[in-house]
Structure 1
Amino acid sequence: MDALASIVSSCRRHLNLDFLWGTVSRGRTISMPRSRRKRTRSRDSSYDDDYRHKRRRNDYYDDDHYDSRHSRSRLSSERRHRERRHRHRERSYSRSRSLSPSHHSRSHHYGESDHSSRYRSDSRRHRRRHRHHRRNRRSYSSGSSREQPESSERAPSVNDDDDGHLIYHQGDVLQARYEVVQTLGEGTFGKVVECKDRQSPNERVALKIIKNVEKYREAAKLEINVLEKLREKDPAGKHLCVRMLDWFDYHGHMCLAFDMLGLSVFDFLKDNNYVPYPLEQVRHISYQLVYAVNFLHENQLTHTDLKPENILFLNSEFEVSYNQKKRRDERRVKSTDIRLIDFGSATFDHEHHSTIVSTRHYRAPEVILELGWSQPCDVWSIGCIMFELYTGYTLFQTHDNKEHLAMMERILGSLPYRMAKKTKKQKYFYHGRFDWEEKSSAGRYVRDNCKPLRRYIKDPDNEEHRQLFDVIGKMLEYDPSNRVNLKQSLRHAFFRKYYEEELLKEPENSQSNGDRERSHSLSR
Structure 2
Amino acid sequence: MVGLEIAQVMENRTKKRPRSAWDITPAQPQAKRAEVVSSTSNEVISRRRQASPPRRDDDREGHYVFNLGENLTPRYKILSKMGEGTFGRVLECWDRQTREYVAIKVVRSIRKYRNAAMIEVDVLQHLAKNDKGDSHCVQIRSWFDYRNHICIVFEKLGPSLFDFLKRNKYCPFPVDLVREFGRQLLESVACLGWSYPCDLWSVGCILVELCSGEALFQTHENLEHLAMMERVFGPLPEHMIRRADKGAEKYFRRGLRLNWPEGAVSRESIRAVNKLNRLKDLVSQHVESSRFSLTDLLNGLLMYEPSERLTARQALNHPFFNNLT
Give the alignment's TM-score, normalised by structure 2.
0.62
Paired residue for 1:223?
117
CA distance in 1, matches of 2:194, 2:100: 40
Paired residue for 1:458?
284
CA distance in 2, matches of 1:157, 1:445: 45
- For residue 294 of structure 2, the aligned residue among 456, 468, 471 is 468
CA distance in 1, matches of 2:124, 2:44: 41
1:246 maps to 2:142: yes
1:170-249 aligned at under 5 Å gives the runs 174=73, 179-185=75-81, 187=84, 189=88, 192-196=91-95, 198=97, 201=98, 204-209=101-106, 214-215=109-110, 219-232=113-126, 234-237=128-131, 242-249=138-145
| Secondary structure in 2 matching 1:309 | coil
Paired residue for 1:290?
none
Is 1:165–1:190's contact at 8 Å kept on the other side of the alignment?
A: no
Paired residue for 2:171?
310
| Secondary structure in 1 matching 2:201 | helix
Alpha-carbon distance change, 270 to 182 in structure 1, aligned in 2, over 3 angstroms = closer
1:492 maps to 2:318: yes
1:11-22 aligned at under 5 Å gives the runs none
Letter of the aligned partner of 2:121 in structure 1?
L
| Secondary structure in 2 matching 1:160 | coil
Alpha-carbon distance change, 484 to 439 in structure 1, aligned in 2, over 3 angstroms = same
Please state how far the C-alpha of 1:488 moved relative to its aligned partner.
1.6
Paired residue for 1:103?
none
Letter of the aligned partner of 2:301 in structure 1?
M
Alpha-carbon distance change, 439 to 168 in structure 1, aligned in 2, over 3 angstroms = closer
Paired residue for 2:243?
422
1:477 maps to 2:303: yes
Paired residue for 1:268?
164
CA distance in 2, matches of 1:252, 1:456: 42
Cα RMSD (Å): 4.5
CA distance in 2, matches of 1:266, 1:414: 38
Is 1:219–1:344's contact at 8 Å kept on the other side of the alignment?
A: no
Alpha-carbon distance change, 393 to 343 in structure 1, aligned in 2, over 3 angstroms = closer
Is 2:94–2:101's contact at 8 Å kept on the other side of the alignment?
A: yes
Give the alignment's TM-score, normalised by structure 1.
0.41
| Secondary structure in 2 matching 1:470 | helix
Letter of the aligned partner of 2:313 in structure 1?
K
Letter of the aligned partner of 1:261 in structure 2?
L
Is 2:300–2:309's contact at 8 Å kept on the other side of the alignment?
A: yes
| Secondary structure in 2 matching 1:358 | helix
Is 1:264–1:309's contact at 8 Å kept on the other side of the alignment?
A: no
Is 1:223–1:345's contact at 8 Å kept on the other side of the alignment?
A: no
Please, which runs of 5 or more residues in structure 1 have no aligned partner? 1-146, 275-307, 312-340, 347-356, 502-524
CA distance in 2, matches of 1:235, 1:205: 20
- For residue 401 of structure 1, the aligned residue among 198, 222, 226 is 222
Percent identical among aligned pairs is 30
CA distance in 1, matches of 2:273, 2:142: 50
1:358 maps to 2:180: yes
Letter of the aligned partner of 2:171 in structure 1?
N
Letter of the aligned partner of 1:248 in structure 2?
F
Paired residue for 2:192?
371
CA distance in 2, matches of 1:168, 1:390: 31
Instruction: Figure out how many residues of one structure are paired with residues of the other and give that number.
Output: 269
In the TM superposition, what whole-angstrom CA distance separates every residue of 1:1-51 from its partner, at most 9, and x where no partner exists?
xxxxxxxxxxxxxxxxxxxxxxxxxxxxxxxxxxxxxxxxxxxxxxxxxxx
Paired residue for 1:382?
203
Is 1:475–1:483's contact at 8 Å kept on the other side of the alignment?
A: yes
Paired residue for 1:160?
55
CA distance in 2, matches of 1:467, 1:345: 24
Is 2:68–2:78's contact at 8 Å kept on the other side of the alignment?
A: no
| Secondary structure in 1 matching 2:323 | helix
Alpha-carbon distance change, 481 to 250 in structure 1, aligned in 2, over 3 angstroms = same
CA distance in 2, matches of 1:378, 1:368: 15
Letter of the aligned partner of 1:159 in structure 2?
P
In the TM superposition, what whole-angstrom CA distance separates every residue of 1:300-342 from its partner, at most 9, and x where no partner exists?
xxxxxxxx8233xxxxxxxxxxxxxxxxxxxxxxxxxxxxx16
In the TM superposition, what whole-angstrom CA distance separates every residue of 1:125-175 from its partner, at most 9, and x where no partner exists?
xxxxxxxxxxxxxxxxxxxxxx985385798466223435467966x694x
CA distance in 1, matches of 2:124, 2:295: 31
In the TM superposition, what whole-angstrom CA distance separates every residue of 1:242-262 from its partner, at most 9, and x where no partner exists?
333222334545433221225
| Secondary structure in 2 matching 1:249 | strand
Please state how far the C-alpha of 1:464 moved relative to its aligned partner.
2.1
Paired residue for 1:434?
257
1:108-147 aligned at under 5 Å gives the runs none
Which of 1 and 2 has higher RCO (CA within 8 Å, sep 6+)?
2
Is 1:209–1:255's contact at 8 Å kept on the other side of the alignment?
A: yes
Please, which runs of 5 or more residues in structure 2 have no aligned partner? 1-40, 59-63
Please state how far the C-alpha of 1:423 moved relative to its aligned partner.
0.6
CA distance in 2, matches of 1:266, 1:194: 12
Alpha-carbon distance change, 203 to 387 in structure 1, aligned in 2, over 3 angstroms = closer
In the TM superposition, what whole-angstrom CA distance separates every residue of 1:347-400 from its partner, at most 9, and x where no partner exists?
xxxxxxxxxx6359x701111111112332232233234334445555445553
